[in-house]
Structure 1
């Protein structure tokens, strides 16, 4: 614990919080890296959809993706409502992004 004694629980808590926050920051960085990769794939999808005249919103695909990630989250013990909300927001952003570029 970096030399902090149990006699100072607040100082010890600050050290532990700083370590946990650094872990969260590193995970956030990884998530941003994954979003960068995801948007690059969306750009490829845009080309395909534009050439084939396919709309941005494909409701059956939305439900397929949400069901798949929620099942994975459920199996790992993650809150399904968190996963559902995050993916629906991510998908809606993607649909909006595609719609702006498919015109």
Structure 2
């Protein structure tokens, strides 16, 4: 038996799907930038994990989230997970060189 979805709910779900698609595109752009950062860190013998930079990013994201009406806690949680993933990616790339 299929779920009967009210038209207004279907419309909101479609909008959420569009936003998800936009988020994927933005995250892909961010990943490409991180890959370029790896090249510079490799060249300059810098570590993947730089605590001061991570603190700066989290502080900026918290402020921007609050200004945009997004929960700063949600933003920090998402960015911490993303940063962790990208640092691991950087470490793998730096070990290859």
TM-score by length of 2: 0.90
Q: Distance in 1 between matches of 2:78 and 2:46?
A: 25
Per-residue CA distance 1:11-33 (angstroms, 9 max, x = gap): 7x611110000000000000000
- How far off is 1:76 after superposition? 2.0
Per-residue CA distance 1:10-57 (angstroms, 9 max, x = gap): x7x611110000000000000000111111111110100001110000
Q: Distance in 1 between matches of 2:27 and 2:75?
A: 15
Aligned to 1:41: 33
Highest RCO, 1 vs 2 (Cα 8 Å, sep ≥ 6): 2
Out of 67, 70, 92, the residue aligned to residue 75 of structure 1 is 67
Out of 30, 44, 47, the residue aligned to residue 52 of structure 1 is 44
- How far off is 1:77 after superposition? 2.0
5+ residue gaps, structure 1, are 1-10
Q: Distance in 2 between matches of 1:76 and 1:35?
A: 19
Aligned to 2:15: 23
- Give the number of aligned pairs: 92
CA RMSD of aligned residues (A): 1.1
Question: Secondary structure of the residue that 1:53 maps to in structure 2?
Answer: coil
TM-score by length of 1: 0.85
5+ residue gaps, structure 2, are none
